């Protein structure tokens, strides 16, 4: 059956076919590896075939990318910004079909799929402005007739390894900034979302070709762990941005550190929402629902732990269970669906094992906890009453499972929030200024994202995104994250005829 027979007429619009080449090397689509099948998590049926690259293909691509870096880094930053602006326009023109592809191949609902592509477009807009603001500093010198200043120069090549749950947005966080900073980009998309990797790369490639620039400025590979390992080991890639599990992230970090490269890690989250006794309960319940079941619980910022003040505990739980019962589970491309499928069959097995572990520890499942009988990977969003000391609470079950616990004081809630190995996102619902400022202060949340009266997920691109502890410490997107993609030089210029030394040293 062709793509039109499956209702996938938009395939041609974004440059896809029944059989696709899974790597873009030196301005050409070529791959000499084995063939893999992209599956729809809604029904586990084949969408299309993709030929994956070999390590020889990788080597050819990196050699070309390394040569292209010598050209790209000499292009003035505002001119690089113009190229990124055109990439944003190309994405904007294909926003809806790309969003449909994200929903079809990853499984998130269509508004989220379109929102993910919009996030790259927003990053392009952000990076265009940034291209005229890559400023250094002039530093007062203690020596007469001397000037000190900072300069920022490109690293050369940035490697970006992305995960299935945000198969293109995380590329945008990294690539848009890396490109305006003067770096070439090598992208390895998730092995289970190769069509998204190919479709986005095709748009970038068209912009580079139209501007008579080397295609190797943006090199991309579909493929598995062997390509990721090659990127981690490659001394031609000074910075590797990795998004995925803490276990794999630790391995990547070790490999990159051993060659004195730099690592930008976005790893696991075990995020909490705290609901204080003075909270707006309706606002909190709506936020908890989105944070816990959005993307079927497969966001790194998904709310997995809910701490509710004992005085409002029953009221919050009653309302929350009621809205959970109204959630529509189904085809992510259908209007009205709030929860799509888990991404793979193995994700369903992990969910099943997690529920078994919860039941073995005799905790109470208030709603959900079952697999939906269908051809797809659908499970029921689940709420569990549990103790904060339960072993399962410390782990990240990557699905729509929410653990609910009581607390008595703000201090207790903060300790509970900080008690897990991960440190990505956190939220509190309160109207009291003293609680807000304690929460965001040095004795408050230990996470990289600290929210008040909003969910744990749905971060804006203007702020730096990332977390602490087992989340890896990386920061992507806004603020001053651009500095990670450049090397800083402190320059001292003597424009006089004497040689005074720093710290008043007299060398005779």
Domain identity same for 242 and 293 = no
pLDDT in tens, 251-286: 999 999 999 999 999 999 999 999 999 999 999 999
pLDDT in tens, 396-423: 889 999 999 999 999 999 999 999 999 9
Domain identity same for 191 and 218 = yes
What was the pLDDT predicted at 458? Answer: 87
Distance CA 319, CA 316 (A): 5
Long-range pairs, 408-415, Cβ under 8 A, ≥24: 408/309, 408/310, 410/274, 410/276, 410/435, 410/438, 410/439, 413/274, 413/276, 413/307, 413/309, 414/274, 414/438, 414/439, 414/443, 414/444, 414/445
CATH number for 313: 3.40.309.10
pTM: 0.95
**Lowest-confidence range among 296-300, 324-328, 500-504?**
500-504
Domain identity same for 22 and 171 = yes
pLDDT in tens, 169-223: 999 999 999 999 999 999 999 999 999 999 999 999 999 999 999 999 999 999 9
Domain identity same for 211 and 302 = no
Distance CA 30, CA 72 (A): 23
In a domain, 435, yes or no: yes
In a domain, 338, yes or no: yes
Phi, psi of 272 (to 5 degrees): -125, 150
In a domain, 494, yes or no: no
Domain identity same for 283 and 251 = no
Distance CA 391, CA 403 (A): 12
pLDDT at 7 over 60: no
Domain identity same for 21 and 57 = yes
Catalytic residues: 266
What was the pLDDT predicted at 361? Answer: 81
Q: For residue 5, name the pLDDT band (cuts at 50, 70, 90).
A: very low
In a domain, 499, yes or no: no
Phi, psi of 259 (to 5 degrees): -105, 15
Domain identity same for 287 and 203 = no
In a domain, 497, yes or no: no
Alpha helices, DSSP H only, in 94-150? 95-106, 110-130
In a domain, 291, yes or no: yes
Distance CA 416, CA 406 (A): 10
Domain identity same for 275 and 256 = no
The number of domains in the chain is 2
How would you classify residue 368: left for phi > 0, otherwise alpha for psi between -120 and 50, otherwise beta?
Answer: left
Residue 129, token pair as written in the block: 């402005």
Domain identity same for 222 and 287 = no
When pLDDT is averaged across residues 303-321 and rounded to a whole number, the result is 98
Distance CA 95, CA 92 (A): 5
In a domain, 219, yes or no: yes
Range of the domain at 411: 271-460
CATH number for 54: 3.40.605.10
Domain identity same for 192 and 296 = no
What was the pLDDT predicted at 481? Answer: 96
Domain identity same for 103 and 228 = yes
Domain identity same for 124 and 62 = yes
């Amino acid at each position: 059956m062709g793509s039109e027979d499956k209702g996938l007429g938009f395939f041609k619009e974004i440059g896809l076919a029944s059989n696709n080449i899974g790597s873009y090397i030196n301005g050409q689509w070529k791959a000499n590896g084995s063939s893999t099948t992209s599956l729809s998590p809604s029904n586990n049926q084949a969408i299309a075939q993709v030929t994956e690259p070999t390590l020889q293909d990788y080597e050819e691509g990196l050699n070309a990318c390394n040569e292209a870096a010598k050209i790209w880094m000499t292009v003035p930053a505002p001119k690089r910004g113009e190229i990124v602006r055109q990439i944003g326009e190309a994405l904007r023109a294909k926003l809806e079909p790309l969003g449909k592809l994200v929903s079809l191949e990853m499984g998130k609902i269509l508004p989220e799929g379109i929102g993910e592509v919009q996030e790259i477009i927003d990053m392009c807009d952000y990076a265009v402005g940034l291209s005229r603001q890559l400023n250094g500093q002039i530093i007062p010198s203690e020596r007469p007739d001397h000037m000190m200043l900072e300069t920022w120069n490109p690293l050369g090549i940035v490697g970006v390894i992305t995960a299935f749950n945000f198969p293109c947005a995380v590329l945008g966080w990294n690539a848009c900034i890396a490109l305006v900073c003067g770096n070439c980009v090598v992208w390895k998309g998730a092995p289970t979302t190769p069509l998204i990797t190919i479709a986005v790369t095709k748009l970038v490639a068209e912009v580079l070709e139209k501007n008579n620039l080397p295609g190797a400025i943006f090199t991309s590979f579909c493929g598995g762990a062997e390509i990721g390992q090659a990127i981690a080991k490659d001394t031609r890639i000074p910075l590797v941005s990795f998004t995925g599990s803490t276990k794999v992230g630790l391995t990547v970090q070790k490999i990159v550190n051993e060659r004195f490269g730099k690592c930008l890690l976005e790893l696991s989250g075990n995020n909490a929402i705290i609901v204080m006794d003075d909270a707006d309960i309706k606002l909190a319940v709506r936020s908890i629902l989105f944070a816990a079941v959005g993307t079927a619980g497969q966001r790194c910022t998904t709310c997995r732990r809910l701490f509710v003040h004992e005085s409002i505990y029953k009221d919050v739980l009653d309302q929350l269970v009621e809205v959970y019962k109204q959630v529509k589970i189904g085809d992510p491309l259908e209007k009205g669906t709030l929860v799509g499928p888990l991404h793979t069959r193995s994700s369903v097995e992990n969910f099943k094992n997690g529920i078994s572990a919860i039941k073995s520890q005799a905790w109470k499942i208030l709603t959900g906890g079952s697999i939906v009988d269908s051809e797809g990977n659908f499970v029921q969003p689940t709420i569990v009453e549990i103790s904060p000391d339960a072993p399962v609470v410390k782990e990240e079950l990557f699905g729509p499972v929410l653990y609910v616990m009581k607390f008595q004081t703000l201090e207790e809630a903060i300790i509970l929030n900080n008690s897990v190995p991960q440190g990505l996102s956190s939220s509190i619902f309160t109207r009291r200024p003293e609680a807000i400022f304690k929460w965001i202060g040095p004795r408050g949340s230990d996470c990289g994202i600290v929210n008040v009266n909003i969910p744990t997920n749905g971060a804006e691109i203007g702020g730096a995104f990332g977390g602490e502890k087992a989340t890896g410490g990386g920061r992507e997107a806004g603020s001053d994250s651009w500095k990670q993609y450049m090397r800083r030089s402190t320059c001292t210029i003597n424009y006089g005829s004497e040689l005074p030394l720093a710290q008043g040293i007299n060398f005779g």
